[in-house]
Amino acid sequence: MFFVEFGVAFGETTKYLTSRTEAPFQYHGFDSFEGLPKAWRQLPAGAMSNNGDIPKIAGEGIYLHKGLIQDTINQVNFESTLMKIFIFDFDLYGPTLFALKHVSSEINEGDIVYFDEAFDSDERLILKNYFLDKFDVEVIGASSFGVAFEIKKTKV
């Protein structure tokens, strides 16, 4: 498995996934760990900050990349034959769109893509204009916040 999480914050999802994955895996998490760069919903700028500290999550194959996504995304080669699970949890339109555009050519049949704010108006635009037009998908899970898709076929 090849996990990619865009928006790690305190590392709760990282800990959950990596502690329950028995197969060999790589996990790459991206975050500034400084919190939101601007207000979002009812949260002020700086909310969800980990005071700039990378969460202490030890384990083989776990890599946390600190900084803005446009500065750190090139630290990872997303070409992998492993099944990929992409988690988009940046909350904000700009970073989410940037990350999706960067990795979309590496999303393959059978991969899982999860959008944590899928029902926010900004993320719905990303889904409609940049995701669903490139992939045939099956919804495999949903909550009041997010939607998980399995990629059935790439359209491009």
Question: Which residue segment(s) compose the domain that 8 sits in?
Answer: 2-154
pLDDT at 78: 95
CB atoms within 10 A of CB 10: 14
Domain count for the chain: 1
Helix (H, G, I), strand (E, B) or coil at 124: helix
Strands 135-142, 84-88: pairing kind: unpaired
Q: Could you tell me the pTM of the whole model? A: 0.92
Indicate whether 8 pLDDT > 80: yes
Indicate whether 156 pLDDT > 70: no
> What is the CA angle 121-125-94, rounded to 5?
90
- Tens of pLDDT, residue by residue over 13-31, are 999 999 998 888 999 999 9
Side chain identity at 19, as an amino acid letter?
A: S
List the CATH number of the domain containing 16. 3.40.50.150
Q: What is the rounded distance in angstroms from the CA atom of residue 5 to the CA atom of residue 76?
A: 12
Determine phi and psi for 136, rounding to 5 degrees.
-85, 130
- Tens of pLDDT, residue by residue over 126-135, are 999 999 999 9
